[in-house]
A and B are shown apart, each in its own frame.
Chain A
Amino acid sequence: MSTGIDHDVDRPQAPVVPLGTPCQIPPGAPSNVVPPPGEDLITVNFGPNHPSTHGVLRLIVTLDGEVVVGLDADIGYVHTGFEKNFEQKTYWKGIPYAPRMDYLGFFANELAYVGAVEQLIGLQVPPRAQWLRTLFAELNRIHSHLIYLGTSGIELGAMSLFFYCTRERDSVLDLFEMVTGVRMHDRYPQFGGVAEDLPKGFYAECKRFCREMPKHIDSYLDLTAENPIWKGRLQGIGTIPAETAIAMGLTGPNLRASGVPYDLRRNDPYLAYDQLDFDVVSAAEGDCYARYLCRTREMYESVRIIEQCLEGMPQGPVMADDRKYVLPPRAELQTSMESLIHHFKLVTEGFRTPAGQVYCAVESPRGEFGCYLVADGSPKPWRVHFRAPSFVSLEATAMCSVNRYIADMIAVVGSLDGVMGEADR
Chain B
Amino acid sequence: MAVRPVDISRAIRSEELEEYVMLTTVEKALAWGQSNSIWPAGFGLACCAIEMMVLPSPRYDIARFGSEVFRSSPRQADLMIVSGRVAHKMAPALRQVYDQMLLPKWVMAMGACSSSGGMFANYAILQGVDKIVPVDVHIPGCPPRPEAVIDGLRLVQRKIRAGVAPAYELEKSKA
Does a CB–CB distance below 8 Å link A and B in the complex? yes
Chain B, interface residues (CB within 8 Å), range: 20 to 34
- Return chain A residues, CB-CB under 8 Å to B97: 49
Q: How many A-B residue pairs have CB under 8 A?
A: 93
A314 interface contact, C-beta 8 A = no
A275 interface contact, C-beta 8 A = no
Which of B45, B47, B57 is A170 in contact with, Cβ under 8 Å?
Answer: B57
B residues 36-60 with Cβ under 8 Å of A? 43-47, 49-51, 53-54, 56-59
B72 x A77 contact (CB < 8 A) = no
B140 interface contact, C-beta 8 A = no
Pick out which of these stretches binds chain A: B17-25, B116-124, B160-168.
B116-124
A residues 28-74 with Cβ under 8 Å of B? 48-51, 55-56
A79 x B89 contact (CB < 8 A) = yes
- Return chain B residues, CB-CB under 8 Å to A269: none
- Return chain B residues, CB-CB under 8 Å to A51: 72
A85 x B47 contact (CB < 8 A) = no
Docked pose: A84 CA to B43 CA in angstroms: 26
B152 interface contact, C-beta 8 A = no
A421 x B54 contact (CB < 8 A) = no
Nearest-neighbor residue (CB-CB) of B47 within chain A: A103
A residues 394-425 with Cβ under 8 Å of B? 420-421, 424
A100 interface contact, C-beta 8 A = yes
B58 x A76 contact (CB < 8 A) = no
Known: A78-B85, A80-B120. A166 touches B54 (CB 8 A): yes
B6 interface contact, C-beta 8 A = no
- Return chain B residues, CB-CB under 8 Å to A166: 53-54, 57-59
Query: Smallest Cβ distance from A315 to chain B, in angstroms?
Result: 33
Nearest-neighbor residue (CB-CB) of A183 within chain B: B145
A103 x B57 contact (CB < 8 A) = no
Nearest-neighbor residue (CB-CB) of B71 within chain A: A51
Known: A81-B120, A81-B125, A167-B59. A421 touches B89 (CB 8 A): no
A residues 162-181 with Cβ under 8 Å of B? 162-163, 166-167, 169-170
B90 interface contact, C-beta 8 A = yes
Docked pose: A216 CA to B87 CA in angstroms: 38
Leading 3 A-B pairs by shortest Cβ distance = A166-B57, A103-B47, A81-B124
Give B contacts to A, CB under 8 Å.
43-47, 49-51, 53-54, 56-59, 72, 84-85, 87, 89-90, 93-94, 97, 119-120, 122-125, 142-143, 145
